[in-house]
């Protein structure tokens, strides 16, 4: 069985300050992990993915995430928030060995203040 927990339902930051969105996962084996962003009235877009090649993963729009097996975490960070980053963010876990069913977290709403 696999699961994912997004620790914050809302995160509020000021423009230009760092962003941290937290995600913890549970999986019997080394999973593949993803972060998706959902802007209002738009489809989910992939930000980045971890596939065991490197623990620090860089994605689009300046986002990155670090896979920490000992902490079962995959937190999403960005050094400096932009107004356009305001959106809903989802952490996703998929199983090993080609297991295809993704499990989504409940989402974290990122609010960016000017």
Among 20, 106, 111, 113, binds other proteins (CB under 8 A): 106
* Bridge partners of residue 92, in order along the sequence: 34, 104
Among 24, 73, 94, 112, binds other proteins (CB under 8 A): 94
Nearest to 98 by CA among 33, 53, 31: 31
CB of 51 to other proteins, least distance (A): 5
Report how far Cα 58 is from the mean position of its chain's Cα atoms.
Answer: 11
Is 107 a binding residue for other proteins by CB under 8 A? The answer is yes
CA angle 56, 97, 91 (to 5 degrees): 45
Is 40 a binding residue for other proteins by CB under 8 A? The answer is no
Residue keyed to tokens 């019997």: 28
Binding-site ranges for other proteins (CB under 8 A)? 31-32, 34, 36, 41-46, 49, 51, 90, 94-107
């Amino acid at each position: 069985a696999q699961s994912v927990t997004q620790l914050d339902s809302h995160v509020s930051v000021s423009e230009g300050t760092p962003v941290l969105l937290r995600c913890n996962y549970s999986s019997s084996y080394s999973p593949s992990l993803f972060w998706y962003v959902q802007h209002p009235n738009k489809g989910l877009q992939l930000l980045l993915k971890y596939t065991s090649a490197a623990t620090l993963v860089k994605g689009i729009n300046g986002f990155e995430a670090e896979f920490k097996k000992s902490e079962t975490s995959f937190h999403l960070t960005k050094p400096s928030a932009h107004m356009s980053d305001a959106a809903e963010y989802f952490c996703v876990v998929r199983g090993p060995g080609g297991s295809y069913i993704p499990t989504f977290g409940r989402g974290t709403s990122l609010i960016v203040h000017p």
